[in-house]
Amino acid sequence: MNFHIVTIFPDMVRPYLGESILKRAITGGSVGVQVHNLRDYTEDKHRTTDDYPYGGGAGMVMKPEPFFRIAEDLWPTKWKRRIVLLSPQGRIFDQGVARELSMEEREVVFFCGRYEAIDERVREELADDEISIGDYVLTGGELPALVIIDAVVRLVPGVLGDARSSVEDSFSCGLLDYPHYTRPEIFRGMKVPGVLLSGNHSEIARWRRKQSLKRTAEKRPQLIEKYMLSCKDEKILEEIKEELK
Ligand code: 9D3
């Protein structure tokens, strides 16, 4: 799995890639991430990447030439690259999009915008995909690129190690997580639920399932609607509704 981040702020993204699971994934060889300075692909003395908008208005627009130059220099064959434009107009990133990207065979290239916009011809001619990470306004695409790489890398086989597989995660399974506890058994008078100390593994599994369903129904009811419930889940949900009466 190979990623490229194209940005005018390469120093913003490099430190994050050099720590923790991401670092291990990269040094381990299952994932590659290269950071490219867009300014290196300008041709003028001042290494200009932005200009005034045609038609007027506030803010600057990123020039098309540096994006075309880097795409044609580094990934000249169209079918070997997937250029992802990061922008507020993109489709919203979620675990499904992460799964889709984790199966990508082409080089995945993120174009990070700054200023108000990127020249429309970059979208029309170069972009294969356009992604937003949610409906809030950021200052650029750099954090979105890191967010997406972070979510995708943990789905690449071998990155997490098999002890904790990403398959069991909340969201990939479509429900929120159940509550977790560690020692001490009583902390400032607050007790760990007895069932977790019982050693009864089927009871524990049922309690966790019920907590997941309860939390999801309470905090994110739309996730319950999307999720395929088993007969047993339906029964547990009825039980939860009964208890809330
Ligand atoms: C009023 C016009 N603004 C759109 C909401 C202009 C604008 C603001 C901020 C254009 C770009 C940006 C910078 N944001 C991104 O490049 C971006 C982003 C985001 O702001 N939120 C969520 N996902 C993303 S992906 C790239």
| Residue 64 Cβ < 6 Å to ligand 1 | no
CA neighbor of 236 nearest in space, from 213, 208, 205, 202: 213
Buried b vs exposed e over 181-205: b needs ≥16 C-beta within 10 Å? eeeeeeeeeeeeeeebeeeeeeebe
88 is catalytic: yes
CA neighbor of 70 nearest in space, from 110, 14, 115, 26: 110
> pLDDT tens, position by position, for the chain (245 residues)?
999 999 999 999 999 999 999 999 999 999 999 999 999 999 999 999 999 999 999 999 999 999 999 999 999 999 999 999 999 999 999 999 999 999 999 999 999 999 889 999 999 999 999 999 999 999 999 999 999 999 999 999 888 876 566 766 666 688 999 999 999 999 999 999 999 999 999 999 999 999 999 999 999 999 998 888 899 999 999 999 999 98
Supply the DSSP symbol for 105.
Answer: -
Cβ neighbours, 10 Å, residue 123: 19
Tokens matching residue 122:
């970059």
**CA 140 to centroid of ligand 1, rounded, Å:** 6
CA neighbor of 22 nearest in space, from 38, 46, 1: 1
Give CA 101 to chain center in angstroms.
Answer: 10
Decide: 64 and 71 in contact? Cβ < 8 Å. Answer: no
| Residue 141 Cβ < 6 Å to ligand 1 | yes
